[in-house]
Amino acid sequence: MGRPRLTEPKYRLIRNQRGTYYVTWTEDGRTRRVSSGTKDRSEADRFLDQFKAGAEAQPDVATMGQILAAYSDSRRERASYGSIKATCGMLAREFGNLKPEHITQKAVARFAKQRLAAGKSHSTAYNDMLFLRASVNWAIKQKMVPPSAKLTFEMPVRRSPPRERWLTKDEVRRLVDGAIAPHIRLFIVIAAMTGHRREAILGLTWDGVDFERRRIDFGPGNERKRRGVVPIHDSLLRELKAARAVATTQWVVEFGGSRVHDVRRGLEAACVRAGVARITPHVFRHTAATWMVMAGTPTREVARMLGMSEVMVERTYGKHAPDYLDSAASALDFSSTQDVG
- Beta strands at 229-231 and 21-27: parallel, antiparallel or unpaired: unpaired
- Length of the chain (residues): 341
End-to-end CA distance of the chain: 83
Please name the residues in contact with 51: beta carbons below 8 A apart, sequence gap of 6 or more.
11, 23, 34, 57
Q: Are 156 and 129 in contact (CB under 8 A)?
A: yes
- CB atoms near residue 259 (< 10 Å): 18
Residues of the chain with pLDDT under 70: 1-8, 27-28, 37, 54-60, 79, 160-163, 220-227, 320-341
| Closest C-alpha to 285, from 176, 187, 178, 181 | 187
- Residue 12 backbone phi and psi in degrees, to 5: -135, 155
Q: Are 328 and 337 in contact (CB under 8 A)?
A: no
Q: Are 22 and 36 in contact (CB under 8 A)?
A: yes
Distance CA 216, CA 236 (A): 11
pLDDT score at 221 = 54
Distance CA 167, CA 288 (A): 9
pTM above 0.75, yes or no: no
Residue 112 exposed, middle or buried by CB count within 10 Å (0-12, 13-18, 19+) = buried
- Residue 150 backbone phi and psi in degrees, to 5: -50, 130
Q: Are 281 and 288 in contact (CB under 8 A)?
A: no
Distance CA 253, CA 183 (A): 6
Q: Per residue in 79-111, pLDDT tens?
A: 678 888 899 999 999 888 888 988 888 889 989
Distance CA 245, CA 255 (A): 14
pLDDT score at 75 = 86
Whole-angstrom Cα Rg for the chain? 27
